[in-house]
Amino acid sequence: MDGPADDPDPTPRRGPVTLRTIAELAGVHVTTVSRVLAPPAQAVRTSSPETAQRIREIAAELGYRPDPHGRALRTNRSHLVGVLVPRLADLVLATIYEGVEDAAGRAGYSTFVTNSQDDVARRADRTDMLLARRVDGILLGDAPVDGSSLGLLVERGVPYALVSRRAPGHPSVTCDDLAGGRLAAEHLLALGHRDVAVVAGEPYTSTGLDRTGGFLAAFAEAGHPVPDHRVRRSGFDVRGGREAAEALLATGPLPTAVFAVNDFAAIGVMGAVRDRGLTPGREVSVVGFNDVPLAAELPVGLTTVRSPMHEMGRRGFALLLARIEGRTWGSELLDPELVARASTGPAPR
Amino acid sequence: MDGPADDPDPTPRRGPVTLRTIAELAGVHVTTVSRVLAPPAQAVRTSSPETAQRIREIAAELGYRPDPHGRALRTNRSHLVGVLVPRLADLVLATIYEGVEDAAGRAGYSTFVTNSQDDVARRADRTDMLLARRVDGILLGDAPVDGSSLGLLVERGVPYALVSRRAPGHPSVTCDDLAGGRLAAEHLLALGHRDVAVVAGEPYTSTGLDRTGGFLAAFAEAGHPVPDHRVRRSGFDVRGGREAAEALLATGPLPTAVFAVNDFAAIGVMGAVRDRGLTPGREVSVVGFNDVPLAAELPVGLTTVRSPMHEMGRRGFALLLARIEGRTWGSELLDPELVARASTGPAPR
DNA sequence: CGACTCCGCCCAATCGTTTGGGCGGCGTGC
DNA sequence: GCACGCCGCCCAAACGATTGGGCGGAGTCG
């Protein structure tokens, strides 16, 4: 009863608008319509200006949108990319992803995002799902620093790029985490801190490793090497930071400052400091990393190293796109920046 | 030079595996392969057990995955759904989305998520993009309570469902926010609070409205109506909560408790309380909503109303799927639960 | 022994798009 | 006036999967 509408009224036109719909209305072949509506870049065998104009008008009036499935089938290009993150509920990754989606949208791409939970099996499973969806490439926000799990992609020849975390020998867009670690160290050194501790994040991530590495290097170069027992791995969330800080504060004399490689971990550290009746920024200074919006709003503002998360997402997508399109590319390091707030102060005597 | 591999070796087989690849290897027609590999539910015109077995083995060995574009083109079903959220960098929505993605994955669907920023134009734009991608349905996590912006979907006959925020007359899966507001009120009433304030969230959202409404109703019924000037709209983030709290605390006598309709807003409230030299849970009690993981880890643990965010996402997808498949469906209300921590205490005299 | 049924498979059309190959007709040059 | 070129368009063949329609052969039954 509600069939393909044989009323002669051309405007509301039931059903989806296809090239054929337009071709019939314009009294022309679908090929012609396709060629007219193709992006000007690949404008070969063009039509007469009048025909083109007429076709464009009809297409606009009907609200024609090319069917991505038909197009993908023919061109073998889906204009889809997969994005793998450890957890989307991690604000840092969510923000990076916003950048990715932003850039992808502008380039006419859509993204599937999915979380791997930093779990090997799940990562393989999700990658498989993305490949089954025929994505044009994959952006990895969860790469382990040893590059394991990238073999499959290389082997299959799937374009990919890393974002947030780097791995030697693979294309990536990351914050210059080594420099960021140094910034934190220099800030604390300038405030007179000599006896410090590090909440170091997960040891299989370049973010944790590099930030810690840069920090330790700067202290060592300044003549105040940080002993091993003052460095402790941790999760990247509040709980992880709190647990690591409790362990660090429990043993021996109190450090005068703690550097956490992630803001949420730093918030956990501040909680642990408070639990001992101390105030962050007075008895114990605390530095975080990333500068999430929350950092500025805390009762005691968190001193932190700002990383350009949104920008990182955008550039990460741009890098992936360059690889997909076979253009030249290179890995990128984005500059971090120190933001001093109330959680750091001069070292107590 | 790297063509379709005419070596007789059947196993590594260059290029993508299609039905034809399998058909040729099995010496059978593609139709037969398609029918064998179809889900058992729609098993009509089946093959002989031997043929079927052989086909399945070859498919498994080659790692056959049906091309979603070919399938979508033919069946007019993309197995794709769009998800619209205000901001993915909002932990609450990110968690709900994790639930959505979880359920979608299990059902063989993939999801596009995109943020509307609660902006009318952007929402229309993103919806359009999703429709252009030929999604089978749309899940809305950003619906305004007046249901505006849903007209387009209804009109076009696109299956949709609401999650997190409801709108009268539209299918939704939400937390029972009215009940949640009451839970918060009852908790504070039991602690002896009579003079309270509300940080009410955005007035165009059912979450803000219902949580506030339930809270106010319970206080009114208990004989302690909350005056208008003690209720103030706010953003759902830390800054929004802080700003609203500063306004509320500035005028007249201090309330003994503040209910914020969102945990992050509550964190902002606690910051404002601290700024005045007061301690949350002593001079001023604070209650939040959602129970995000951070709430338990704060220096002063946040009393809050837990909402089942992950579950909400899962059920939301299930509801959408029911509509897509034309099954019967109904809106759902999920039960909230009060979690008492240190940020609430007996009302001071 | 013939007719009928049904099983197991193949044929062909279709979804919407892109793209190399033709093919008339008009304009130009000699 | 004829040959040639090119402009503007149409034709047809893909891409991979699904699905109604046939068709030969084996089995059943009278």
Residues B139-190 have pLDDT tens digits of 999 999 999 989 989 989 999 999 999 999 999 999 999 999 999 999 999 9
CA gap A254, A278 in Å, rounded = 11
Give the integer Cα–Cα distance in Å for A241 and A104.
34
Asked if residue B55 keeps its beta carbon closer than 7 A to nucleic acid strand D, the reply is no
Residue A323 has pLDDT above 90, yes or no: yes
- For residue A47, is pLDDT > 70? yes
Residue B5 lies in a domain: no
Strand D reaches within 7 A of the A73 CB? yes
B233 and B183, same structural domain?
yes
The residue assigned the tokens 């070292």 is A347
Chain A interface residues (partner B, CB cutoff 8 A): 65, 67-70, 72-73, 78, 87-89, 91, 94-95, 97-98, 101, 105, 110-115, 129, 131-134, 237-239, 242, 264, 267-268, 270-271, 274-275, 293-294, 297-299
Question: Within a domain: residue A281?
Answer: yes
CA count, 13 A, side-chain hemisphere, B173: 25
Q: Which residues pair with B174 in a beta bridge?
A: B333
With respect to residue B10, please indicate whether it lies within any of the assigned structural domains.
Answer: no
For residue A196, what pLDDT is reported?
98
User: pLDDT digits over A199-231, tens only?
Assistant: 999 999 999 999 999 999 999 999 999 999 999
- Bases of chain D with protein Cβ within 7 A: 7-12, 14-22
pLDDT at A153 over 80: yes
Question: Residue A40 — pLDDT band, cuts 50, 70, 90?
Answer: confident
State the pLDDT at residue B14. 57
| Chain B nearest-CA residue for A17 | B132
Residue A218 and residue A141 in one domain: no
Asked if B67 CB < 7 A from strand D, the reply is yes
B143 and B237 fall within a common domain: no
Cβ of B70 within 8 Å of Cβ of A73? The answer is: yes
Please check whether residues B226 and B133 belong to one and the same domain.
no
State mean pLDDT over A186-195.
98
Task: Indicate whether A60 belongs to any domain.
Answer: yes
Structural domain includes residue A7: no
What is the distance between the alpha carbons of residues B48 and B30, in angstroms, rounded to a whole number? 15
Asked whether residue B206 falls in the same domain as residue B258, the answer is: yes
What CATH number is attached to the domain comprising B123?
3.40.50.2300
Q: Which of A88, A132, A271 sits opposite B299 (nearest CB)?
A: A271
In chain A, what residues touch B114 (CB-CB under 8 Å)? 101, 105
A224 and A291 both lie in a single domain = yes
Q: What is the mean pLDDT of chain A?
A: 93
Pairing of strands A303-306, A337-339: antiparallel
**Are residue B53 and residue B105 in the same domain, yes or no?**
no
Same domain, A118 and A205: no
Contact check, Cβ <8 Å, A297/B65: no
Clarify whether residues A191 and A304 are in a common domain: yes
Of B69, B87, B274, the CB nearest to A299: B274
Q: Cβ of A46 < 7 Å from strand D? A: yes
Residues B267 and B320 in one domain: no
Sign for the CA dihedral angle at B266, B272, B275, B281 comes to: negative
**B255: in domain:** yes
Residues of A in contact with B69 (CB under 8 A): 68-70, 72-73, 78, 134
Domain-embedded: residue A291? yes
Interatomic CA distance for residues B149 and B139, integer angstroms:
13
> In terms of residue numbers, what domain contains A268?
177-309
CA distance A51 to A47: 6
* B334 Cβ contact partners less than 8 Å away, ≥ 6 residues apart: B173, B174, B175, B176, B307, B308, B311, B312, B315
The maximal CA–CA distance of chain A, rounded, in angstroms, is 89
Q: Is the CB of A91 under 7 A from strand D?
A: no
Q: Dump pLDDT digits (tens) for B210-264.
A: 999 999 999 999 999 999 999 999 999 999 999 999 999 997 899 999 999 999 9
pLDDT number for residue B44: 67
| Beta strand segments in B20-99, E | 80-85
A190 and A276 together in one domain: yes
Contact B131 A242 (CB under 8 A): no
Backbone angles phi, psi at A124, to 5 degrees: -60, -45
Smallest Cβ distance to A69: which of B69, B113, B299?
B69
Question: Is the same domain home to B85 and B55?
Answer: no
CATH number of residue A56's parent domain? 1.10.260
Q: Is the pLDDT of residue A3 over 60?
A: no
Chosen domain end from A66, A92, A121:
A66
Number of domains in chain B: 3
Structural domain includes residue A345: no
